[in-house]
Amino acid sequence: MANIILGGIEGGTTHSNVVLYNGNGEKLVQVAGPHTNHWVLGMEECQKRINKMVEQAKYEANVPLQKPLNALGMSLSGCEQEETNEQLKEELQKNFPNLSSNYVVCSDTVGSIAAALENGGIVLIAGTGSNCLLHNPDGSVHRCGGWGHIMGDEGAAWWISHKAIKVCFDEQDNFAQPPHPTKVVWKVILEHYDIKNRFDLLDHCYSRFDKSHFAGLCKLLAKAAIQGDKLSQWLFSEAGRLLARHVTAVLPQVDSKLLSEARGLPVVCVGSVWLSWEYLKPGFIAQLKETAPKLQKLSLLRLTTSMATGAVYLAAKDINVDLPRNYTDNYKIFFTYDHDQT
């Protein structure tokens, strides 16, 4: 089994990771790379980046570049449609024949669940953008979000950044009063975008808009929250409410088997916004109590491995390789919601 080489890619909207495993379940290498969202890059550039990252991983793992992987799982942001997923597979096979013999393409939400939960559950992504997917034990799938910043991304870094700016703009326009003083947040905004006034910010909102850079403000707001700024803390609490609403949106479709688990409904939490759980928590809990009064128990899980590992598991399953794995090694529970005790 050691001669079987399986690959997995975690592709977000800011960065990607590639891992290679052998058939014994041993990780050979992990390599970081740029983002691989084909809606942003175009299909051709996406394929080039995938090939380049896998070639680098092969090189570091001493796998000949001309030797195709047995299978490559790709858990990528933007890969929600079967038609474009098939296009990606077909063009990779045609344009890069030495890359892999088989392919599995799915969204980043699917890879996250595959890495941690053998029998299904919910994954809730809150990175630059947001997305939620429920995978039931019977294979049925239900989703909420994942529509990008124009139509969604509620509770994610982009949303928090945008909300902070809008609160400040509204106050300065005398359009709406903020819930807390804006002095600290406005100072952080000016520093992050290297601007002097609101008019300078329009360039970053329109003609030179870069979603990753725009969302990067969230990291500074997280620091301000830690330092005690009330408005920053409020922004994260509001984001927590919106993330909880993703869960309650799919809750009616959750299989009773998932609800009856000892740890409660499992939710895999992916993305850097979850690092600010202390400030998300008040809004998250309040929203669950308001809109999911019958939900008794829920556990929030943080992956201790890359979702690229989940993509490897999917690749192994696709070619009927019984890859050794221990799911409990791949996550930690960082919060348990108990309706009667929380």
Rg (CA), the chain: 21
Residue 2 has what pLDDT?
A: 63
Element (H, E) at 297: strand 297-303
Mean local confidence (pLDDT), 90-114: 90
pLDDT (0 to 100) of residue 229: 98
Q: At what angle do helices 217-226 and 230-250 cross, to 10 degrees?
A: 110
Say what the pLDDT of residue 1 is: 64
User: Taking the C-alpha atoms of 121, 267, 19 and 50 in order, what is their torsion angle to the nearest 10 degrees?
Assistant: 80
The pLDDT score that the predictor gives to residue 39 is 78
Q: Specify the 3-state DSSP secondary structure of 335.
A: strand
* Burial of residue 216, with CB atoms counted within 10 A of its CB: 0-12 exposed, 13-18 middle, 19 or more buried: middle
Confidence band of 283 (pLDDT split at 50, 70, 90) = very high
Which pLDDT does position 325 carry in this prediction?
87
The rounded distance, in Å, linking the Cα atoms of 127 and 110 is: 16
| Alpha carbon distance, N-terminus to C-terminus of the chain | 48
For 182, 261, 305, the CA distances from 308, given in Å and listed in that order, are 40, 26, 8
Q: Could you give the angle at which helices 217-226 and 183-193 cross, rounded to 10 degrees?
A: 150
Per-residue pLDDT at 241:
98
Look over the chain and give the mean of its residue pLDDT values, rounded to a whole number.
Answer: 92
Most confident of 131-145, 175-189, 206-220: 175-189
User: Contact, 76 vs 51, CB < 8 A?
Assistant: no
CA dist 142 and 132 (Å) reads: 9
Residue tagged 């080039």 (tokens): 48
Length of the chain: 342
Tokens of 290: 């308001």
Decide which of 3.40.50.620, 1.10.1740.10, 3.30.1050.10, 3.30.420.40 is the CATH code for 5-118+305-325.
3.30.420.40
Residue 218: closest CA among 178, 159, 258: 159
The domain spans of the chain are: 5-118+305-325
Provide the whole-model pTM.
0.84
Q: What is the C-alpha to C-alpha distance for residues 220 and 232, in angstroms, rounded to an integer?
A: 9
